[in-house]
Structure 1
Amino acid sequence: MMADALALPPLRGTLERGGSLADFIWFRTGGPAEVLVRPADVEDLAAFLKELDPSVPVLPVGVGSNLIVRDGGVPGVVVRLPKAMQKVSVEPGNRVRAGGAAMGISVASAARDAGIAGLEFLRGIPGTVGGAVRMNAGAYGRDTSDILVEVTVVLRNGSVETWPAGRLGYSYRHSELPQGAVVVEALFEGTPGDPAAIGAEMDRIAAEREASQPLRSRTGGSTFKNPDGHKAWELVDRAGCRGLRRGDAQVSEKHCNFLLNLGEANSADIEQLGEDVRRRVKADSGVDLEWEIQRIGVAK
């Protein structure tokens, strides 16, 4: 890491060299960002990226609910959007507009209150709109690509563009958003519905998550993608990995597709435990599990 060497353009928001990521990443592990940037608004971010040396990598991070930050930290600039970009508003045509920093539950709740159905599944996604749009997050039979109309992004060169959903090249848990692009706003569309019925479905999703997932633990959400024709957790369980440990990193006994930090694990422990699981599943069923959690930064 070369924090002192990186020349940085002016910013109205805050800029922190060696900014901690472990303070907010769900696993509570990992090294610092070379530079952690919190822009004041879209214009501030766009101006900063336009002037930033094009060779410097840029990585947007939301709440880190699906992230392993390696112990050596993250070179370049990590962008966290400010609270000002958490706004959610309802528009005609059963549409909901949300800032990139808004949480899934905020979008689902606004849709419920407006009688807009189809966005309930966002209640079950514990991340930001930006993260959901980038990775085509989904739950309970629906994906972000099912409801997205358009997205506003600040590209790595500082240009601000609004793209129709079709331009994102969506597939399962994947989009073709370019490297360094930051999602600053998204427009979603549902269908007319009864607020009471929508609320009941959101409550059902919340109760199901509480019953089946280790929500009160230091975790990173779903670890592996579901392979075609399989559920990842079933393959992990069948390979004898439920409760498997490496130091203080553990495969959740409650839901085998979740890894846990029991307290003193570092990111290397967690990532290596995931690789242990992948090897065991491959040996048991012949299936190559793909990581769903994004792993970023450099090993120590």
Structure 2
Amino acid sequence: MSAARRHPAVRGRLLVDEPLAAHTSWKVGGPADRYFEPADREDLLAFIAGLPAREPVTWLGLGSNLLVRDGGVRGTVICLHGALDGLAAAGDHEIYAEAGVHCARLAKYSQNQKRAGLGFMAGIPGTVGGALAMNAGAWGGETWPQVIAVEVVYRDGRAEWLSPGDFQTGYRHVEAPSGVLGFLGARFRVGADEQGEHERVTREWLARRKATQPVGKPSAGSTFRNPPGDHAARLIESCGLKGRRIGGAEVSTLHANFIVTENGARAADVEQLIQTVRDVVRDKTGIDLQPEVRIIGVAA
């Protein structure tokens, strides 16, 4: 049971020893030393400004691309989902979204505004902040090609708008300028969709996802990046790994690039299964699959 400690400078929820299994889509993971859910943007900036200079900070959205080891995370975990959730259309060619907005909600908002360009976000099971941090993508679309500008926060609590040219981005990879602590939001480029064509295509993608992926089971989405010219799922399945289990973790029998968990699973089960898949695929095909998920924290 985590105990609440209220800092006089913040209005949000500040907990100690908060179990992160409750905040990750795999439903595994140890506690955070400190866990903070800001009340709003100003509360977040004040909290960051008051942190010790060397305090480790980990950002959390929906915990959908994250494996937290069983020993938990040292320092402070900041969860933006439910706090920074602003959305707004700016003219015909731009939509602003704060970092805590669910990507699927951004896609739906864009659809309701009859705007095209962000439909792929419906296939990303995370928040805008997480999508910016890793250049998340789905169905052939990626986050950063749609970015006009991003708002970042520095260690001293100062916020600033930067352009995409200030960052180095690639496939599931983003390098921020020195001193940037995290993302607060972004302005996204969109176009017109008056005839609803992009809405139709998005519905088809979602239906296909529901039919081919283990939606509803604890997972972190795609576990491995697709290697150039191939698909991780094809390689894993070709090596006979569908259904391979370690403890409470299993390679999905529906989609081989998903690892799912059951009640009682440990983060160590998932991490060992990830390594087993990498070893088998490398031994049989010569390809070293790279995890798409982040693995953080310390072992139990």
Question: Under TM normalisation by the shorter chain, which class is it?
Answer: over 0.9
> Is the 8 Å Cα contact of residues 114 and 195 (structure 1) preserved in structure 2?
no
Match of 1:229 in 2: 229
Does residue 136 of structure 1 match 2:135?
yes
Aligned equivalents of 1:186 and 1:123: distance in 2? 17
State the one-letter code of the partner of 2:120: F
Aligned equivalents of 1:226 and 1:37: distance in 2? 34
Which deviates the most, 248-257 or 112-121? 112-121
Match of 2:67 in 1: 68
C-alpha distance 242-80 of structure 1, shift in aligned 2 (>3 A): same
Instruction: Write out per-residue CA displacement over residues 178-221 of structure 1, whole angstroms, 9 at most, x where no aligned residue.
Output: 68722111110111122522221121111011011101101111
- Give the secondary structure class of the aligned counterpart of 2:273: helix
Aligned equivalents of 2:224 and 2:180: distance in 1? 24
Taking structure 1 as the reference length, the TM-score comes to 0.94
Matches within 5 A, 1:165-180: 165-177=164-176
Matches within 5 A, 1:246-285: 246-285=246-285
> Is the 8 Å Cα contact of residues 112 and 195 (structure 1) preserved in structure 2?
no
> Is the 8 Å Cα contact of residues 60 and 180 (structure 1) preserved in structure 2?
no
State the one-letter code of the partner of 2:132: V
- Give the secondary structure class of the aligned counterpart of 1:18: strand
> Is the 8 Å Cα contact of residues 9 and 47 (structure 2) preserved in structure 1?
yes
Taking structure 2 as the reference length, the TM-score comes to 0.94
Q: 1:244 Cα shift?
A: 0.5
> Is the 8 Å Cα contact of residues 9 and 52 (structure 1) preserved in structure 2?
no
Unaligned runs of 5+ in 2: none
- Give the secondary structure class of the aligned counterpart of 1:158: coil
Aligned equivalents of 1:219 and 1:37: distance in 2? 24
* Alignment length (residue pairs): 297
- Give the secondary structure class of the aligned counterpart of 1:170: strand
Match of 1:145 in 2: 144
C-alpha distance 122-82 of structure 1, shift in aligned 2 (>3 A): closer
Match of 1:286 in 2: 286
Q: CA RMSD in A?
A: 2.0
Aligned equivalents of 1:150 and 1:169: distance in 2? 14
> Is the 8 Å Cα contact of residues 124 and 206 (structure 1) preserved in structure 2?
yes
Unaligned runs of 5+ in 1: none
- Give the secondary structure class of the aligned counterpart of 2:174: coil
Q: 1:10 Cα shift?
A: 3.0
Match of 2:84 in 1: 85
> Is the 8 Å Cα contact of residues 81 and 101 (structure 2) preserved in structure 1?
no
Aligned equivalents of 2:189 and 2:161: distance in 1? 16
> Is the 8 Å Cα contact of residues 224 and 291 (structure 2) preserved in structure 1?
yes
Match of 2:215 in 1: 215
> Is the 8 Å Cα contact of residues 25 and 63 (structure 2) preserved in structure 1?
yes
Aligned equivalents of 1:214 and 1:97: distance in 2? 31
Aligned equivalents of 2:46 and 2:103: distance in 1? 28
Match of 2:37 in 1: 38
Match of 2:98 in 1: 99
> Is the 8 Å Cα contact of residues 219 and 260 (structure 2) preserved in structure 1?
yes
Matches within 5 A, 1:183-222: 183-194=183-194, 196-222=196-222
> Is the 8 Å Cα contact of residues 61 and 81 (structure 2) preserved in structure 1?
no
Match of 2:48 in 1: 49
Match of 2:182 in 1: 182
Match of 1:243 in 2: 243
Aligned equivalents of 2:149 and 2:183: distance in 1? 11
Aligned equivalents of 2:289 and 2:156: distance in 1? 35
State the one-letter code of the partner of 2:251: V
> Is the 8 Å Cα contact of residues 81 and 102 (structure 2) preserved in structure 1?
no
% identical equivalent positions:
38
Aligned equivalents of 1:145 and 1:185: distance in 2? 13
